Amino acid sequence: MSETTISAPGERGETLQVLRRALAATGPLLVLLLLIGILWVLSPPFRSPTSLMLLGLEAAAIGVVAAGQTFVILTGGIDLSVEAMVSFAGVTAAILIAGTNVAGGQIAFGISDWQAVLIALTAGLSIGMFQGLIITGMNMNPLIVTLGFRSMLLGVSLVWTRGAGINIQKGPFLNFVTSTIDLFGLRVPMPFVIVLVIYFLLWIVLKHTKFGRYTYAIGGNETATRLSGINVDRVKVFIYGISGLLAAVGGILVMSRLQSGAYQNGTNMTLISVAAVVIGGTALSGGIGGIWGTLIGVFIIRVVEAGLVYMSVPSNAKEIVIGAIIVLAVALDVIRRGDVKWLRFNRLRT
């Protein structure tokens, strides 16, 4: 009877599993440290505090966006609209602050920056939730819905700006957002602090709330979760809402740093966010993963990019490397699942 045979293979499986989980958890971190180490040795300019600060700043906006993407991917979905949302939120806030319409034409109102930001974030949340409503209510594929919204949001941004950036003067709120905190002589950029706070809150949500548990459960087995009496649709609507909101936060961070709301603000962020999530150990099929891995994934990508700069690789070649990383990340995901026959040794799941 299998009941009695469970202990022997089970226990061995258990220790193996703990080992594999530890590897899955620390693997990306080790890669990141390795990359930093290599860059540290090879490139003296990288060792300056400024370049570290810059790294934190570079990671901020995409970090927030990728955090939202993590939630969506954990449920087994995907949000391709995030880069458009980054642009859209930035453009919206910029227009409201500058009181500038298309091509510099002055319109009647310019409102204070915190109000503008609040409106942009609300828009991000509502548009995200609206996508969630369409996906769950009409049982549509998130890939298509969010791809459609990507186009629409980019289109709106383009129309509102006529393709040009809308420049703003920062008010007190945005000045605060772009300031730095002095920590043991290291000037830590405020956006990075914001990212850390957001990640900590999201970690609490994933680990210690019903909502977080349901997020994993839906990704693991949506049918079983629904049949356990859980309102799966409502959870998913909020998931897409969170993704929209966080993408909008990312949009504000980009816009405030550039002091300009333009439709290109979010370029490439969808791909990079998905890559960061996958590199960080979250399965594209959902149900497995976590938020901190994503942050590490973001840093891995940013360090590689920085490395290319310090190694004087022409910036045009950057795209090639990023593309390769993304394919590699997905390959990693497949290998982790043990789906590659000739790479069975690397099974982390079973």
Query: Which among 11-19, 60-68, 263-271, 323-331 is the span making contact with another protein, rule CB under 8 A?
Result: 11-19
- Asked whether 99 and 108 are in contact (CB, 8 A), the reply is yes
For residue 183, the cross-strand partners are 186
Nearer to another protein, 25 or 52 (CB): 25
Least Cβ distance, residue 338 to another protein (angstroms): 12
**What residues from 118 to 157 belong to the interface with another protein (CB under 8 A)?**
none
Least gap, CB of 67 to another protein (angstroms): 19
Contacts with another protein: how many residues (CB under 8 A)? Answer: 36
Q: 215 or 256, CB closer to another protein?
A: 215
Which one, of 164, 169, 182, 230, lies nearest residue 49 by Cα? 182
Please give the span between the terminal C-alpha atoms of the chain, in angstroms, as a whole number.
Answer: 22
Q: How far apart are CA 35 and CA 279, in angstroms?
A: 14
Please select the residue that binds another protein; options are 139, 312, 316, 350, rule is CB under 8 A. 350
Per rule CB under 8 A, is residue 344 in the interface with another protein?
Answer: no
CB of 76 to another protein, least distance (A): 11
**Considering the complex, what minimum distance in angstroms separates the CB of residue 1 from another protein?**
4
Query: Residue-wise over 201-226: b if at least 16 C-beta within 10 A, else e?
Result: ebbebbeeeeebebbbbbbbebeebe
CA angle 208, 126, 222 (to 5 degrees): 50
Residue range at the interface with another protein (CB under 8 A); choices 1-9, 32-40, 47-55, 87-95: 1-9
6 binds another protein (CB under 8 A): yes
CB of 50 to another protein, least distance (A): 40
Q: Which residues contact 284 (CB under 8 A, 6 or more apart)?
A: 73, 78, 278, 330, 333
242 is a site residue for another protein (CB under 8 A): no
Unique residue bearing structure tokens 């949302």: 85
Residue 276-305 contact track with another protein, rule CB under 8 A, x = bound: -----------xx-----------------
Report which of 129, 89, 78 is spatially closest to residue 247, judged by C-alpha positions: 89
Contact characters 210-229, another protein, x per CB under 8 A: x--xx-xx-xxx-xxxxxxx
Of the listed pieces 12-20, 152-160, 173-181, 323-331, which binds another protein according to CB under 8 A?
Answer: 12-20
Q: What kind and span of H or E run contains 17?
A: helix 7-42
CB-nearer residue toward another protein: 135 or 272: 135
Nearer to another protein, 152 or 201 (CB): 201
Q: What are residue 166's phi and psi, to 5 degrees? A: -105, 115
Minimal distance, residue 141 CB to another protein, in Å = 20
Local structure of 106: helix, strand or coil: strand
Q: Which long-range contacts (CB under 8 A, 24 or more apart) does 234-237 make?
A: 235/75, 235/211, 236/75, 236/77, 236/132, 236/135, 236/136, 237/129, 237/132, 237/133, 237/136
Identified binder of another protein from the candidate list 48, 151, 209, 346, rule CB under 8 A: 209
Q: 39 and 303 in contact (C-beta within 8 Å)?
A: yes
Helix, coil or strand: residue 344 = helix
Binding mask 177-206 toward another protein (x if CB under 8 A, else -) reads ---------------------------x--
Taking residues 94 to 113 in sequence order and writing x for each that binds another protein by CB under 8 A, - otherwise, the string is: --------------------
- Judged by beta carbon, residue 47 or residue 208, the one nearer another protein is 208
Site residues, another protein (CB under 8 A) = 1-3, 5-7, 9-11, 13-14, 17, 204, 208-210, 213-214, 216-217, 219-221, 223-231, 287-288, 349-350
